[in-house]
Amino acid sequence: MSSKGPVIVMEAPEKLNHSEAQAFLAELQPLLQSDRPRIVLDCSQVQHMDSAGIEMLLSSMGEAMKRDGDIKLANLSPASGAILELMRVDRLFEIFETAEEATRSFQTVALPEVTPTLPWYSSGYGFADLKSAS
Amino acid sequence: MGLGAIVVPGELYRNAPAGIAPNMDALLSDPLAYLEVAGRSTLERTIERFVRAEVDAVSVLQTEAGSRGVRPSFTAFENVEFQTVSDLRPAIQQKLQEYSQSGIEHSFLLFGNIYAETDLLDLFYFHREARQTATRTLNREGTLDLWVVDCLKAQDFDLDAMFLQPKTSSNSYFIREYVNRLITARDLRRLASDLLQGRCVARPSGREVKRGIWIDEGAEVHRWARVVAPAYIGSSSKIMQDTLITRQSSVEKNCCIDYGTVVEDSSILQNTEIGICLDVCHAIANGNKLLSLDRDVVIEISDPAVMRSNYPLPKPATARKWASNISLFNRRKQRQPTPARLQPAGSAPERRGFETNSMKG
């Protein structure tokens, strides 16, 4: 499956604390309102993150998912990664080494191939099929 | 023939080349030898080993800068003295002289935070038979700063020259037993894991309530907490409801692991409180600081609800602020009808709190 809409890469601020997170969320809000928002947050600048920052990330992801979109994180510093892990948030986001990788992941989302098979009880199978199977 | 011991904790780390322990200062303010691992510090364990080897006198020399005023809390051993000195080298020379004058002919010298489970008497006999001024020890990883010296001869010896002697000397004593150099915080974690897994002779303090689960005096484990062996819960620590302590984790004394938190392959150092629903994995937590061993980074948590230290006690001004918060909290709580209040008068309120854990480990 390939997605056709644009993927927006945004650079997260140096500090993701209460005040900065609010300002950043205000910036992010118009993008979240669009149809299927696909956003990559480049966290390479993030030096400080607290619970308000994490709450902002979670609420933005919630908003994005409501509109069938997603937010992915890229370029996380070791400290930010450790904080997300401590707060059990790391498992909620897709995290990539670089913003490019995160962008690419939006553009090609491989779904597992599903081969159309008929259930055994459907009319597609006849007695002969069952006999040959055995 | 007397035998003495001079222990200089922490000094090796202070002299360590830059970059060997980059996260240590950020995480810990005290030398590693003073930190409790599975209930007891390596300094305490080392002193006990000297005392058990029937050493006549043990002197612990610490610098003001190196120890930062730390005084170990244990005083159970006889013939053990602690001295804070400004300069270590003259202090060591003086101590050797004192030993010599009081009839102690040989002395062990231990520098740094090393924890070695060698047979001390065998080491001493090796030194005596070698008829040398100083005998250094080594193990598979290289030389160790554990020596035996002749007190009389070593007084005139240039200590610096002695310490800088060739790394592999034929007269060195090879240690085959367990050794942990305790240079980095990673070594501290390894020691905790080794103690819990029985890789060394020493054992965690406290009582082994179930195979591999050590609970120290006054520790409280909620019956709905899960402690998976091997693990250690230190004295006066509280393990709250729905927490999981697993994979060789040690929670040292006076800690609190709050509701729903998972502690996995981690050491929670003493006086640390961990908040609710957190994942502490492959880490060392000390107060509001957390060293992630996977990422090799120390993070400082500013939110006391997430992680905090309960030591030292808050200053009076802070205490007042805390007290006001507590009173507000109590007032808020008073407005809520508690189950105890709803019970008819005369009936005993339901007993809440911690009970003996069923230990599902």
Domains and CATH numbers, chain B: 2-180 (3.90.550.10), 204-309 (2.160.10)
Q: Is the pLDDT of residue B130 over 50?
A: yes
CATH number, domain at A120? 3.30.750.24
pLDDT digits (tens, 9 = 90+) for A79-112: 999 999 999 999 999 999 999 999 999 876 555 5
The rounded distance, in Å, linking the Cα atoms of B58 and B48 is: 10
Q: DSSP letters along A33-87, please?
A: HSSS-EEEEE-TT--EE-HHHHHHHHHHHHHHHHTT-EEEEES--HHHHHHHHHT
Q: How many CB atoms lie within 10 A of CB A109?
A: 10
Count of the separate structural domains present in chain A = 1
The rounded distance, in Å, linking the Cα atoms of B307 and B269 is: 12
Average pLDDT, chain A: 84
Q: What integer is the mean pLDDT of B56-65?
A: 86
Which tokens sit at B356?
Answer: 């003996």
Q: Which domain holds residue A109?
A: 8-133
Task: Find chain A residues with C-beta within 8 A of B305's C-beta.
Answer: 51
Q: Do A86 and B279 touch (CB under 8 A)?
A: yes
Is residue A101 in a domain? yes
pLDDT digits (tens, 9 = 90+) for B64-117: 765 554 555 555 677 888 888 888 888 998 999 999 999 999 999 998 889 999
pLDDT of residue B25: 66
* Segment 292-321 of chain B within 8 Å of chain A by CB: 292, 294-297, 299, 301-303, 305-306
Is residue A1 in a domain? no
Residues of chain A with pLDDT under 50: 1-4, 134
CA distance A16 to chain B (A): 13
Q: Considering the entire predicted model, what is its pTM?
A: 0.81
Contact B80, B47 (CB under 8 A): yes
Contact B215, B231 (CB under 8 A): no
Is residue A107 in a domain? yes
Is residue A108 in a domain? yes
∠ CA A107-A108-A114 to the nearest 5 degrees? Answer: 145
Is residue A122 in a domain? yes
Is residue A121 in a domain? yes
Is residue A22 in a domain? yes
pLDDT digits (tens, 9 = 90+) for B308-319: 999 765 455 444
**What residues does B233 pair with on adjacent strands?**
B215, B251
CA B146 and chain centroid, separation = 19
Is residue A3 in a domain? no
Contact B189, B269 (CB under 8 A): no
pLDDT of residue A31: 92
Unique residue bearing structure tokens 């231990």 = B110
CA distance B100 to chain A (A): 53
The rounded distance, in Å, linking the Cα atoms of A52 and A63 is: 16
Q: Which of B279, B296, B303 sits opposite A88 (nearest CB)?
A: B279
Contact B183, B13 (CB under 8 A): yes
pLDDT digits (tens, 9 = 90+) for B141-198: 998 989 999 998 877 777 777 766 655 555 899 999 999 999 889 999 999 999 999 9
Q: Do B281 and A85 touch (CB under 8 A)?
A: yes
Average pLDDT, chain B: 81
